A and B are shown apart, each in its own frame.
Chain A
């Protein structure tokens, strides 16, 4: 057996490493948490890395997982070794092809990072719902429990698929395994070659479609033969487990790592046995080995091959002494008599018992239960809880573990304090911000420790669901033996708190074990820090006897030119204090790691990091801890006492990181949640906020218009209302004639501000005395925070301006409309949310929104808090997200309902004409509703109708009451990103546009899949790089506008708020008013463009000036009056494309990796701009 190369990587890489080497084609599509596997395959292919046959696999991104499965199927049928990587909804989209691939006995492996399915809510996290949903397709299901197994099972699956001709799903737990970083032994190419039999590869090729030996496959079959033909595959399924077992044996001989279809751990004479697969199996193993060593008769069977289910092998794996069994399924099958694996076990045992082959003293008691849905942590305490349940005379069947089910009482109790700690294992928890680089540093730390032959290391990282100011918790273990503890650290020996204010927000020291070391980054020295700690923190430090170290890492970062990146500084502190290795050796290794990590980024970056390391230790101090707590300061409540009960009782728990404690009864039963909850969060993530200068302000509304987080609000009001205003409340005379008594206020909600600075960039008003001073400027928040809180409270008492008195047609006027989308968790400076906010301002009180999965559905609908809000009347946008691929159709459904219910309401209103009043009915049913004034009038009529209707009894009257609100025109908007509109949902978008129905489609075009991390879409422009287009996009972006225009009856606009906000406003209003389908393509700058987001609007403007993003409106409504429906709203290109493009890393990167290709592609892109402009100009001028 060869000495193995050892490395420290995550489960996705471990799997892809093998999958890439044993395939010729990868058909891919991004989906969390499997995207990394596809990205790595694409990256390796672009680097020219070869598979084991010496050729570079072709990697092709498709428009959806359905497309990927189709391409995979085609490639397999024509003889290529082909794979794909997916998860969750992606796997669902592959199902039709999976039946085909299996039915045709095609050797292939799909690698799945198993993930929850969207049900009452979407979840990106891990469980087995997706793989369980495809268990009937005919694919074999092979499960890996760890990073090492994800590596090994990839190869075992491939070898077994080729030999058995049965396609395999190789799966491992999404996030828990796919994203866990752990030390593993790498398979060498020779070992991989030794496992893949060349004769089977040739046999696979020989089965390919070829005109040299023509046949047909994929016939349509009739009732006479389909059934028999379906049964032909049986023998292959019968043989499959034996083949897998032999492959595992061969693998074991080759590598020394021995696996079986079912692996048993624990006492050989166990009486109570767990059956489990996936990462939970490692926890079960850890638990039963711990308990067995203490004399308990317990064991666990780890399932590797779940389909085909090898009954004999399963029975053989059970100790003869088994008396009771608990089957743990990480999935839910509502309405079933049990979850799938439970049913398989019960059937197997019952069948064996009936046939006399059971081999046990008696038929064991079997219970089944669910655990760990959506990455709910599964711990040794829970595993023990299940084993304890088996001790009971009447153990609960169909149980759940890890939650409190106080409704149907299916959950079992367990002792949460039970822990299994491996000998010599050190557990460290690090609390950081996404922006401070904590996770990256910890990944390096794990690599550094993992490289040491004496150590094993493991890391798992928990992120929150915000894209700005997000918090991270790194769970890091290291020790002398392999680490299988695939669950979060509950008690830590080391706590690194990398942000001082976290002590106020979360129970950072709760997980500290007694005597654990505390490292705190704080802006205070060792002598003053104690007095700045909240009382509860002081008490914990004293009670747990925590050695306490403090460093002002931001100061060190500033002094060494690191900005806000404190990662290497805190990493150095960790090594210095933890004693994991001698300081000098640790620093040497940190520096080597820095050099490796930052080498490509230039000497300067390396040098600064070195300098930061060198300066760290002088600033690290041990704190003398007093004997008693001295602080009187208690932690503030998570949310205001003024918040609604649901927010206080449920939302606040999630916000505080205590959502796991919520019982079933606290949860809405059908995924329905109250809107307008972000306003209770007050995240305070930016130290700098905009401050308004009333004397300089020209009240244009631009700052408010572009604010991505709805932080800047304006109101006008009679000056008498200022009587009770706080002293610091700012106002100015309104800049409009004829309103001498009216004041204007621009109020900044600074606790909700992300500090992006877009408002300052867009502000046109400048001080005459001081260059650079504008009407709005970024200033430190702290000095004004208290005063501004009072100002905001007062501002909220001022009446919201009457929508009937506001000029909707101007940017300035529109900003007096209340935003009903506020304080989202989008990136600071997001280019999408200003459009969403505008939508909510213009039409929010009658708006229904269908939102495609993606960034907008995450910042729009990810718990704990959601930004869609409501006005004082209780009206506001009604929002829902169905899926990624079906959003246009989903939104069309909204329209169909609205139209149908309008039809019913109209008919019933007519029927009640006499009772309701003929004039009122006539007026209501014939009222125009295109302008806001007309809408307000209609609302008044409907209110009156409802009043009169309430006096009428009977079913019909009730029926009318249930739909009468539809007499006020509903505004249906279908929104999403380019990944949806250009790729996966394009068919739906196209079809919905073709229906002629009155829906409005808003595409927030970031030109990549932003939410999954910047993969290429068909909107990605020529010459830009993206994931899956590392060599630069070679073809032009799809012109969705022209395609929609070709229908002739679709309103189409292309807008860019940063270039022409007035045109954006006009397009939104025209689209909404147009009584047919509308499509707006909105330029949305994005963090994935590689720009300073503060320059986002400037980039929008340059995109327009270069002619890359021509502003257009195509309004079929004006055709009737003889006008040209196509209007070009931007001027001829004034700057070369590169003057816009090369401000962005996505374009510039190619000039550094492949300058010749960059030049060629940029020339091509420029030519495309010219050609497109000519077409547009022709359309605009032909009349």
Chain B
């Protein structure tokens, strides 16, 4: 019998497939369905502090627009006592999901102020979250900002949250650091319990009909695993935090590749959205079958087997990797 268990950010998981932040986790029922579908843990959809702020301001604006202006209509909405614009709903969801599920429920937070990060992280812990994923999404559009300053923001946020909570904290990162290795080590130093590689953040698109810039977020494709695969393979065994892979897990093959690169957990969003929560079981079964056929005993045995640390030619992950692609390109297509 193959041992599929793994440990991710200090949390023992029955297998490495984790349901990542998606609309599927927007309700307690949805989270329960993810558990029933076989997920070893659920990372909830991200709570965006900016969105909370925006909603708070919008509520204030829309409920006061036109009020106290005309004597017949001094207000336009009924007074409500229990309107929640803060994180209450999210926290309540964590609470209910944690009570309803046996698997760990991990809160996901995207803050913009230090208070937003810290207070909300603490509230998530109090609500029953087993861990927190900090979904740091930041585009340094200020041309005067240096790389170091950008990095400091990440480290500072992590340090502040770590100080505020006792549950494990994961950092979900973008790949755009000049020196990802050094960045990973700094986060390690600041207490990260896991690194999640990589987030697929907002990249604007143009609407050519309307000639407008528009937000766009497509579901990932399997080919997108390369970059996380590269960095998981490089980082494996060289830093303390767990590693999770989170892009392009559309089938068993990608999951196995990530595990062999050194991931402690593989996260899936697009595939679950596409195939439903039950697809987790398909993935898990596929991993098990693959391992059985190849006589692997455990995830532990397989994990990191293709990492830079363990492959025969470590330079394959560096510049040589690039050269190899070009070469293969030639051999495949050149006459």
Which residues of A are interface residues toward B (Cβ below 8 A)?
Answer: 32-33, 35, 39, 42-43, 46-47, 124, 175, 179, 433-435, 437-440, 461, 463, 465-467, 470, 472, 563, 565, 598, 600-605, 766, 771-772, 827, 858, 1010-1014, 1025-1030, 1087-1088, 1090-1093, 1145-1146, 1149, 1152-1155
Contacts and interface: CB of A to CB of B under 8 A. Distances in A.
B76 A463 contact: no
B70 A605 contact: no
Nearest to A35: B72
Given A1025-B78, A1026-B78, A1149-B77, A601 B59 contact: yes
Contacts of B59: 601-602, 605, 1145
Interface stretch (B5-13, B48-56, B244-252, B316-324): B48-56
Contact of A604 (B56, B63, B67, B71): B56
A1027 B66 contact: no
Contacts of A766: 211
Contacts of A1091: 62
A1027 B79 CA distance: 8
Contacts of B82: 1153-1154
A1091 B85 CA distance: 17
Given A603-B56, A1152-B89, A1155-B89, A439 B76 contact: no
A124 B64 contact: no
A613 to B, nearest CB: 16
Contacts of A1030: 78, 80
A439 B74 CA distance: 10
A97 B27 CA distance: 51
B60 A605 contact: yes
Given A771-B213, A1090-B76, A440 B67 contact: yes
A124 B62 CA distance: 26
Contact of A124 (B68, B71, B75): B71
26 contacts: A42-B78, A47-B81, A433-B69, A434-B70, A435-B66, A463-B71, A467-B73, A470-B69, A598-B60, A600-B81, A600-B85, A601-B63, A601-B83, A602-B52, A602-B57, A604-B53, A605-B57, A827-B66, A858-B72, A1014-B77, A1026-B78, A1027-B78, A1030-B78, A1030-B80, A1145-B63, A1155-B89
A1153 B82 CA distance: 5
A1011 B73 CA distance: 6
Nearest to B71: A463
Contact of B70 (A463, A602, A772, A1090): A463
B67 A434 contact: yes
B212 interface: yes
A603 B68 contact: no
A1145 B77 contact: yes
Contact of B60 (A47, A175, A601, A858): A601
A604 B57 contact: yes
Contacts of B79: 43
Nearest to B81: A47
Given A463-B71, A467-B69, 11 more contacts: A124-B71, A179-B71, A465-B71, A466-B70, A604-B57, A605-B60, A1012-B73, A1025-B77, A1027-B78, A1146-B77, A1152-B83
B29 to A, nearest CB: 10
B238 interface: no
A323 B61 CA distance: 60
A1090 B66 contact: no
B175 interface: no
B65 interface: yes
B56 A1153 contact: no
Nearest to A1093: B65
A269 to B, nearest CB: 43
A1023 B213 CA distance: 33
Interface of B: 52-53, 55-86, 89, 211-213
Nearest to B70: A467
B129 to A, nearest CB: 20
Contacts of B80: 600, 1030, 1149, 1153
B267 to A, nearest CB: 27
A832 to B, nearest CB: 14
B78 A434 contact: no
A1090 B83 contact: no
A32 B82 CA distance: 27
Contact of B72 (A601, A771, A1011): A1011
Nearest to A1146: B77
Of B64, B66, B84, the most chain A CB neighbours within 10 A belong to B66
B73 A437 contact: no
A1013 B69 CA distance: 11
A1152 B76 contact: no
A238 to B, nearest CB: 41
A605 B84 CA distance: 13
Per DSSP, chain B at the interface is: loop
Nearest to A46: B78
Contacts of A1011: 72-73
Q: Which 3 A-B pairs have the closest CB atoms?
A: A434-B69, A602-B56, A1013-B73
A434 B66 contact: yes
B69 A1152 contact: no
Of A470, A563, A1145, the most chain B CB neighbours within 10 A belong to A1145
A1013 B76 contact: yes
Of A43, A47, A1149, the most chain B CB neighbours within 10 A belong to A1149
Given A435-B69, A466-B70, A1010-B73, A601 B85 contact: yes
A437 B69 contact: no
A889 B124 CA distance: 61
Nearest to B82: A1153
Contacts of A600: 80-81, 83, 85
B193 to A, nearest CB: 28
Contacts of A1152: 83-85, 89
Contact of B73 (A601, A604, A1014): A1014
A1087 B66 contact: yes
Given A434-B66, A463-B71, A1149-B83, A1014 B76 contact: yes
B52 to A, nearest CB: 7
A690 B196 CA distance: 48
Given A771-B213, A1155-B89, A1145 B71 contact: no
A1028 B76 CA distance: 12
A1027 B77 contact: yes
A438 B83 CA distance: 24
B72 A32 contact: yes
Nearest to A1025: B78
Contact of A1013 (B53, B72, B89, B212): B72
Nearest to A1088: B76
B62 to A, nearest CB: 4
Contacts of B81: 47, 600
Contacts of B213: 771
Contacts of B86: 602-603
A603 B211 CA distance: 37
A9 to B, nearest CB: 13
Contact of B77 (A472, A598, A1090): A1090
A465 B78 CA distance: 23
Nearest to A31: B72
B55 A602 contact: yes
B110 to A, nearest CB: 15
B88 to A, nearest CB: 9
A1013 B74 contact: yes
Contacts of A465: 70-71
Nearest to A565: B64
A56 to B, nearest CB: 15
B66 A467 contact: yes
Contacts of A42: 78
Given A600-B81, A601-B85, A602-B56, A472 B69 contact: yes
Contacts of B55: 602
Nearest to B79: A43
Given A439-B68, A1090-B63, A602 B85 contact: yes
A472 B71 CA distance: 10
A467 B69 CA distance: 7
Given A766-B211, A1145-B63, A434 B72 contact: no
